[in-house]
Amino acid sequence: MKQIFRDKIINIDDNITDKKFLLKKINYEKNISNNDFDVVFLSDLLEKRKNLEMVEKSKTKPATWANVYSPKDELEIFEELFNNALKNNKKIHIIWITLDKEVKILEEYYKKLGFFSEEINAFKVDFSKVLISVSVKIENLMWRWSDYKSMGKKIFFNPPIRESGEVKAMFKWINRWVTAWIYYTDLVSNKEYKKFLNQEIINEHILVIILSKVLKYNLIDFWFKAEESNFILEY
């Protein structure tokens, strides 16, 4: 088995032929009240703007669920949180972004701080030195707008599953090291999550070193305080 660290991969036993990665993940969902900064769930704020007309339409046209919590509302909320954090010099982590425009705002902020590397055409963010970081929910990577037809109510989330271009953007900003974390509720016991991440590693949609950062190291740098546990993927 190979253990994945922030910047290296090492064999941790004599079995060098097995196809397993050992990663460390933060158990944030079990310990969410001891951080020295604000943690904001976009879903809580979006719920106040829930479009009940679209809820009714979604009963017969599932794809309209994407507008129950509109992209416009989400972006407005994000911009308000972002601008207030800068204005008040307040450290904040925003959970469950779904929009390319949101992360582009964050990208410009990180670029102004000097964290963009021309050499690798990506960011090397020191999360201990930024006021704002973000997470994407794992479901917003797993599914896309076209899946409403087959999945229906099974993917009626808040924030909702967005269009394909937005999903691709979520992968892009993970791989450009802008998005700090992938949010999950129970990564170890949820077989669907594990199957999805296994496949993304095999297809190299997310490199395993980057995955190690968005499961643990970025949040540790941002000053999250939480227990951690083992997470094993196969490739």
**154 located within any domain:** yes
**16 located within any domain:** no
On the question of pLDDT at 15 being above 80, the answer is no
Domain that holds residue 36: 31-187+214-228
pTM higher than 0.75, yes or no? yes
For every residue of 32-80, which 3-state class applies, written as one string?
CCCCCCEEEEHHHHHHCCCCHHHHHHHCCCHHHHHHCCCHHHHHHHHHH
| Enclosing H/E stretch for 92 | strand 92-95
Residue 230 is given by DSSP the state E
The structural domain count of the chain equals 1
Angle at 151 between CA 146 and CA 156, to 5 degrees: 90
Average confidence (pLDDT) over 72-87: 98
Query: pLDDT tens for residues 19-78?
Result: 899 999 888 654 455 567 899 999 999 999 999 999 999 999 999 999 999 999 999 999
Q: Which residues contact 199 (CB under 8 A, 6 or more apart)?
A: none
Q: State the burial class of residue 219 (Cβ atoms within 10 Å of its Cβ: 0-12, 13-18, 19+).
A: buried
CB 211 within 8 Å of CB 197? yes
Q: What is the pLDDT of residue 226?
A: 80
In which band, very low, low, confident or very high, does the pLDDT at 227 lie, cut at 50, 70 and 90? confident
Query: pLDDT tens for residues 168-225?
Result: 999 999 999 999 999 988 777 788 998 999 999 999 999 999 999 999 999 999 988 8
For residues 66 and 151, give the distance between their C-alpha atoms in angstroms, rounded to a whole number. Answer: 13
Q: Which tokens go with 155?
A: 């993917």
Q: What is the pLDDT of residue 28?
A: 67
| Enclosing H/E stretch for 156 | none
**193 located within any domain:** no
For residues 171 and 184, give the distance between their C-alpha atoms in angstroms, rounded to a whole number. Answer: 16
**91 located within any domain:** yes
Q: What is the DSSP string of 172-223?
A: HHHHTT---EEE-S-TTT-HHHHHHHHHHHHTTSS-HHHHHIIIIIHHHHTT
**198 located within any domain:** no
**13 located within any domain:** no
CB 31 within 8 Å of CB 225? yes
**146 located within any domain:** yes
CATH number, domain at 134? 3.20.20.140
**19 located within any domain:** no
